[in-house]
Amino acid sequence: ASALVTFALACGLGLAFEFTLQYALGGLSFWMVQTRSLNVALTFVRLFLGGYLVPLQLFPEALQPLLNWLPFQISLALPVEILIGAASVERVAQGLMAGLFWTVAIGGIAAAIWRAGLRVYTASGV
């Protein structure tokens, strides 16, 4: 039961991270006409470093600490590890803390982008 609660918490945090990341990217539209190529590049990084294409455990051991602190693991790798029982208590705690840190940090950046974008925004028309 506690694993399911932890899984739900990790999934919620993963959704919050994905939302703030897309919110920040969307805010760049104040200055950029097309953000699609940036979104495609970010999607590739998320797929590769988040465990979507390759499980993080298959990366070299020397990269494991870095991969576990990058924000992308919170969206898929950590919740799956929790669900199948492959994550230690330390891994769960570290992964949730990393996910929370990145969600708050990118959320702050997204809010700053939005405020700056509103200052430069102009509209015309009927």
Measured in whole angstroms, the distance separating CA 103 from the mean position of its chain's CA atoms is 7
Is residue 92 a contact partner of residue 6, using CB atoms and an 8 Å limit?
yes
**How large is the average pLDDT for residues 16-45?**
92
What confidence score (pLDDT) does residue 18 get?
A: 95
Cα→Cα distances 7→14, 62, 65, Å: 10, 27, 21
Model pTM score:
0.88
- CA atoms of 60 and 57, how far apart (whole Å): 8
Is residue 120 a contact partner of residue 29, using CB atoms and an 8 Å limit?
no
Place of tokens 């969307």: 26
- CA atoms of 14 and 102, how far apart (whole Å): 10
Residues in the chain: 126
Torsion region of 24: left, alpha or beta (phi above 0 gives left; psi -120 to 50 gives alpha):
alpha
Instruction: Examine the pLDDT at 121 and tell me if it is beyond 90.
Output: no
What confidence score (pLDDT) does residue 35 get?
A: 86
Q: Is the dihedral of CA 99, 101, 103, 109 positive or negative?
A: negative
What is the tens place of the pLDDT at every residue in 58-106?
999 999 899 989 999 999 999 999 999 999 999 999 999 999 999 999 9
**How large is the average pLDDT for residues 41-45?**
92
Give residue 50's identity as a one-letter amino acid code.
Answer: G
Q: What mean pLDDT is reported for the chain? A: 92
